[in-house]
Amino acid sequence: MTSGISRRTTLKSALGVTGALALGVPALSGTAIAADPSDELTLWYRTPAADWERESLPIGSGALGASVFGTLGTERLTLNEKSLWTGGPGAGGGYDHGDWTQPRPGVLASVQQRLDTEGKLTPEAVAAELGQPKHGFGAYQVFGDLELAVPGAPTAPDGSYRRALDLGQAVAGVSYTHQGVAYTREFFASYPGDVIAGRFAADQPGKVGFTLRYTSPRDDFSATASGDRLTVRGALQDNGLRFEAQIRVRTSGGSVSAGADGTLTVSGADSAWFVLAAGTDYADTFPDYRGDDPHAAVTAAVDAAAAHSYEELRAEHVSDHRALFDRVSLDIGQQTPDLSTDQLLAGYTGGTSAADRALEALFFQYGRYLLIASSRAGSLPANLQGVWNNVTNPPWSADYHVNINLQMNYWLAEVTNLAETTAPYDRYVESMREPGRRSAQKIFGSAGWVVNNETNPYGFTGVHDWATSFWFPEAAAWLTQQMYDHYRFNGSTDYLRSTAYPVMKEAAEFWLANLRTDPRDGTLVVTPSYSPEHGDFTAGAAMSQQIVHDLFTSTLEAARTLGDAPDFRTRLENALGALDPGLRIGSWGQLQEWKTDVDSRTDDHRHVSHLFGLHPGRQIEAGSEWAEAAKVSLTARGDGGTGWSKAWKINFWARLRDGDHSHKMLSEQLKSSTLPNLWDTHPPFQIDGNFGATSGVAEMLVQSQHGPIEILPALPGSWPDGRVTGLRARGGVTLDIVWSGGSASRITLRASRTTDLTLRSTLFPGGEHTFRASAGQTYVFPQP
Ligand code: FUC
């Protein structure tokens, strides 16, 4: 990444070939905002947003984000640039070049020995030995707010007011009529342009005016205006990270003037638009994490965008977005009533009405929209809030929690045909290797790379001392799972060789060096082992073992595919043979969370970590005794939990082939963990639940984790008839499925590779059809 320069080099070349109008995208008309309430892919409201978290509407280009309020008198956009982080090496009290964990010889071994003899230790006891205070972790920062004060705007919305977010175009808009004049505003974040743009228009000449100003909760910046340009420059006091934004305003008719107070004022215009570029001098390079001053790149981006017409910029953006978003459509019999989205949500019952289905289909597509908007190549991956944040101290720093949350953010990426959005994830995981090696050395004295419970953009891979969340070295292995899956979906051995495998192999080296023989039964176990945020430290908790099993299984497959050295393969085979697989059925038929049978039937903890092998892993297959035990555990855990926990349960029940329970969890999430702007709430807002829910819906419709492609494995009774297009399955497959009366009636499969495929569906006699697919061919079943 991620120096702004490389980000923008790609973008300029995209602008160079623009001619977006020539791509057939319709040009903007004066009132073409996205507020058509009949559009099933639009979120819309009758009032401006009063509350950022509950009501603002997000737009984003991966690196840049904005949340739109639609306020009449002063339009507000809360701005984000994803690398604007405090903390990091060298920051006051911060860690030094990744060496945040002091070597304390013998401490780890003594904890392991105590676990051997005492069986368990409290998190507090282990944190007292192995933890250390958290320094310099930092937090994701709001970039500031853009305020556009509109003279003469009405003070309160009337019936003409609409605020909307069109997911198909990725354009947010506001429309209202005042004193006989129809006003429109619209906003988008362009990935090819690397800018945020907005336009104010009216249906009568000379009616558009505003004063544009930048504000920030920090006082670390200067804002100066000159001509049509507003420049914001500053450096975070905490760590000196430099940031810059530039805004340029163009008008049609009227005038623009710069104020000595750092404002730009438009008056008497027929329409006016602005474009904003922003960047920092962050780079994802160990050990300094600094790149070029953002000035040159920001100037280039804003000037390139301002040299085009608004219509060109918009058309280019829409076509870029549509190229991803339009790949998947979902028809579950929804019919969008004339209800604003907050009303649709408030009236949602989880039943079978067309309106309930409208919300479910919208929520599914919203997850895809949010991933496109918060994860594009050239920046950091989606954090706990995607790219959106309105404060300097967001919950959990809006960081990268890796004991489920970052992983969950990408569960939907492959199956809902957005594989490109994983590029920043891969890059981020790769960037953790170098500091992760330091942590492996310092904490474990071993080879390999490691990261613990949460991480930041500055290579924090160590531990802290919050007892229930400081220790989770399994995270590195889990993070590689998505990368191997990327390979399983697209089949590129080049990608496997160059990107996924090196990271997987080094994570495997870490565990080859760190598993210990369990004196209880001679198996290899992870110790100390901690089932995320739950219970005591022990040796060999189910999730630890299942993650290592998953890593070793995938790494061995990859090593065979790539023909890696036989001795490495032999070491993996031997370790897999001796590994405790983390699957054990306890006294009440449950899948045990720990190696000893201590699970409580009344435990409703939000983490359901011991079911990792069911999802996102592939160790447990539906129909097996393990799946039955997983069902017992999941039933006992109940249908509650935080937003992301409910989302995980959608996926679990889908993997257990129980579409109705899967759908129940989707409805629980919509009823109690979803805000009016359809952001998932933990509470507070946490975007993993959005992504996990979209993944869960896809898992109801197609699964391929065990090899065969399962069509409609968990179709809920409330969606008896429907159609989905464009879902992906492992093996380079794209699928359209039509169903009626609860069964598939037509499957269309496009193969991108020549390979043997097995399709499982009631459509085939015996339930299965195996054939050799040829690259580039389309297959229709039943055959016409
Ligand atoms: C994990 C969860 C919490 C929260 C945090 C960001 O630690 O257990 O519920 O989601 O991540």
Assess whether the C-beta atom of 384 lies below 6 angstroms from ligand 1: yes
Convert the pLDDT of each residue in 697-712 to its tens digit.
999 999 999 999 999 9
Rounded CA gap, 342 and 142, in Å? 26
User: Looking at residue 90, what is its pLDDT?
Assistant: 62
Q: What is the mean pLDDT of the chain?
A: 93
Q: How far is the CA of 49 from the centre of ligand 1 (A)?
A: 27
> Average pLDDT of 593-621?
98
Nearest ligand 1 atom, CA 384 = 6
Q: Is the pLDDT higher at 430 or at 1? A: 430
pLDDT(9) > 90 = no
**Residue-wise DSSP of 322-335:** HHHHTT-EEESS--
pLDDT(27) > 90 = no
Q: Kind of pairing, strands 755-760 and 64-68?
A: unpaired
**Residue-wise DSSP of 627-692:** HHHHHHHHHHH-S-S-HHHHHHHHHHHHHTT-HHHHHHHHHHHHHHSB-TT--BBSSSB-THHHHH
Assess whether the C-beta atom of 474 lies below 6 angstroms from ligand 1: no
Q: Is the pLDDT higher at 742 or at 33? A: 742
pTM score? 0.95
Q: How far is the CA of 663 from the centre of ligand 1 (A)?
A: 23
Nearest ligand 1 atom, CA 396 = 6
Nearest ligand 1 atom, CA 644 = 10
Q: Angle between the 475-490 and 423-439 helix axes, to the nearest 10 degrees?
A: 150
Rounded CA gap, 101 and 464, in Å? 9
Contact status, residue 539 vs residue 115, Cβ threshold 8 Å? yes
Nearest ligand 1 atom, CA 405 = 11
Which residues make beta-bridge pairs with 274? 198, 249
Q: Which amino acid is at 503?
A: V
User: Looking at residue 13, what is its pLDDT?
Assistant: 33
Chain centre distance of CA 420: 12
Element (H, E) at 197: strand 195-202
Q: How far is the CA of 395 from the centre of ligand 1 (A)?
A: 10
Joined tokens for residue 256: 């623009």
User: Looking at residue 121, what is its pLDDT?
Assistant: 98
* Those residues with Cβ within 8 angstroms of residue 219's Cβ, 6 or more apart along the chain or in another chain: none
> Average pLDDT of 231-251?
97
Assess whether the C-beta atom of 533 lies below 6 angstroms from ligand 1: yes
- Please tell me the number of Cα atoms within 13 Å of 59 on its side-chain side: 30
User: Looking at residue 136, what is its pLDDT?
Assistant: 87
Backbone angles phi, psi at 681, to 5 degrees: -125, 130
Return the minimum-mean-pLDDT range out of 83-97, 210-224, 417-431, 453-467: 83-97
SS3 letters across 582-617? CCCECCCCCECCCCCCCCCCCCCCCCCHHHCCCCCC
Which residues make beta-bridge pairs with 145? 78, 215
* 3 state DSSP class of 589: coil
Q: Which amino acid is at 566?
A: P
pLDDT band at 97 (very low <50, low <70, confident <90, very high): very low
> Average pLDDT of 771-780?
98
If we measure between CA atoms, which residue out of 38, 731, 125 comes closest to residue 338?
38
* 3 state DSSP class of 166: strand
> Average pLDDT of 101-117?
86
Q: How far is the CA of 460 from the centre of ligand 1 (A)?
A: 17
Convert the pLDDT of each residue in 506-520 to its tens digit.
999 999 999 999 999
Nearest ligand 1 atom, CA 532 = 8
Convert the pLDDT of each residue in 124-152 to its tens digit.
999 999 998 888 899 999 999 999 999 99
Assess whether the C-beta atom of 403 lies below 6 angstroms from ligand 1: yes
Q: Which amino acid is at 252?
A: S
User: Looking at residue 282, what is its pLDDT?
Assistant: 97
Q: How far is the CA of 432 from the centre of ligand 1 (A)?
A: 20
Nearest ligand 1 atom, CA 607 = 8
Convert the pLDDT of each residue in 164-191 to its tens digit.
999 999 999 999 999 999 999 999 999 9
User: Looking at residue 39, what is its pLDDT?
Assistant: 79
The angle subtended at Cα 1 by Cα 281 and Cα 221, nearest 5°, is: 20
pLDDT(100) > 60 = no
* 3 state DSSP class of 67: strand
pLDDT band at 452 (very low <50, low <70, confident <90, very high): very high
Ligand 1: residue of 471, 686, 690, 691 to mutate (most ligand atoms within 8 A of CB) is: 686
Contact status, residue 752 vs residue 734, Cβ threshold 8 Å? yes
pLDDT band at 99 (very low <50, low <70, confident <90, very high): low
Assess whether the C-beta atom of 439 lies below 6 angstroms from ligand 1: no
User: Looking at residue 102, what is its pLDDT?
Assistant: 58
pLDDT(6) > 60 = no
Rounded CA gap, 197 and 193, in Å? 9
pLDDT(259) > 80 = yes
pLDDT(530) > 70 = yes
If we measure between CA atoms, which residue out of 420, 372, 472, 464 comes closest to residue 169?
372
pLDDT band at 105 (very low <50, low <70, confident <90, very high): confident
Backbone angles phi, psi at 757, to 5 degrees: -130, 145
* Those residues with Cβ within 8 angstroms of residue 450's Cβ, 6 or more apart along the chain or in another chain: 436, 439, 440, 443, 444, 461, 473, 475, 476, 507, 510
Contact status, residue 79 vs residue 71, Cβ threshold 8 Å? no
User: Looking at residue 91, what is its pLDDT?
Assistant: 53
In angstroms, the Cα distances linking 317 to 262, 310, 418 are: 29, 11, 17
Assess whether the C-beta atom of 469 lies below 6 angstroms from ligand 1: yes
If we measure between CA atoms, which residue out of 733, 722, 725 comes closest to residue 760?
733
> Average pLDDT of 646-673?
98
Convert the pLDDT of each residue in 345-382 to its tens digit.
999 999 999 999 999 999 999 999 999 999 999 999 99
Contact status, residue 334 vs residue 38, Cβ threshold 8 Å? no
Joined tokens for residue 767: 């339930």
User: Looking at residue 38, what is its pLDDT?
Assistant: 47
Q: Which residue has the tokens 């039937």?
A: 601
Assess whether the C-beta atom of 646 lies below 6 angstroms from ligand 1: no
Ligand 1: residue of 140, 383, 384, 396 to mutate (most ligand atoms within 8 A of CB) is: 396
Joined tokens for residue 745: 């009636």
Contact status, residue 669 vs residue 606, Cβ threshold 8 Å? no
Q: Where are the beta strands (DSSP E) in 375-515?
A: 400-401, 454-455
Q: Kind of pairing, strands 195-202 and 263-269?
A: unpaired
